[in-house]
Amino acid sequence: MSQKATPSFCKQITAMQKRRLLTFIRSSKELVIGLNPVFYCLINLILFSVIYDTIMDIFLPDDVEAKAAFEKVMFAILFPIFILISLFVSSGVYVISPVSDREDKLRYLLNFAGMRPASYYIGLFMGDVFIFLIPTAILIGGSWALKLSGISERAGWIYLALFVFSYSFIQLNYLVGFLFTKAETAFKYQVLPMLLLWIAPSLILIPFGGNQ
């Protein structure tokens, strides 16, 4: 029995992954929503490039040491913040599918048909990770196009870091998604609890920061 159950489990995961990707590709609404991370990443990347070029060329034209210090601050602190804001603003992309399945009662039908909860979420998760990597790849490609050497030179490490980050980010989205009962509401307001969870640790630690 156990030998027969294992392929079934794997097939269910594969089926859910294919369903997630096909839904994303075939549904115009899903496709538009899914491209939001691409839009936000490009906008923030262009904004980051404009700020970087303006300060480097106008305010620090001849100071080599100041340029080097500013470049470290931009790529070590500001760039991650820009990208994280892009991802959090578009976090509703990753909850619209599970919330929509619950809203339409499709989740119960899948359970009745024999779909295991683990298979459902693992397959959904694998599909969403693939969708997550699309704006990530465009982000790396955009850094080359905009000649941001600080990013393009470390493209492999940045891509790997965002790939690993996607695991916790998407799972947290699924968890927060249980707060919503309607897919439309989840897509619009998912960003609020996600931003709160991102900012909360820093706010909590402020009183313990001291004067150092």
Q: Quote the pLDDT of residue 123.
A: 93
Instruction: Quote the pTM value.
Output: 0.77
Nearest to 146 by CA among 58, 48, 74, 75: 48
Question: What pLDDT score does 150 carry?
Answer: 67
pLDDT at 44: 73
130 versus 71: which is more confidently predicted? 130
In a domain? residue 51: yes
Residue 86 has pLDDT above 80, yes or no: no
**End-to-end alpha-carbon separation of the chain, Å?**
62
- Specify if 212 maps to a domain: no
- Is 2's pLDDT higher than 50? no
- Is residue 35 a part of any domain in this protein? yes
- How many whole angstroms from its chain centre is CA 96? 14
Instruction: Please tell me the total count of domains within the chain.
Output: 1
DSSP3 helix / strand / coil % (the chain, rounded to 5): 85, 0, 15
Residue 144 token pair: 């080359």
Residue 126 lies in a domain: yes
Q: Which domain holds residue 131?
A: 2-207
CA atoms 190, 163, 33, 111: torsion sign: negative
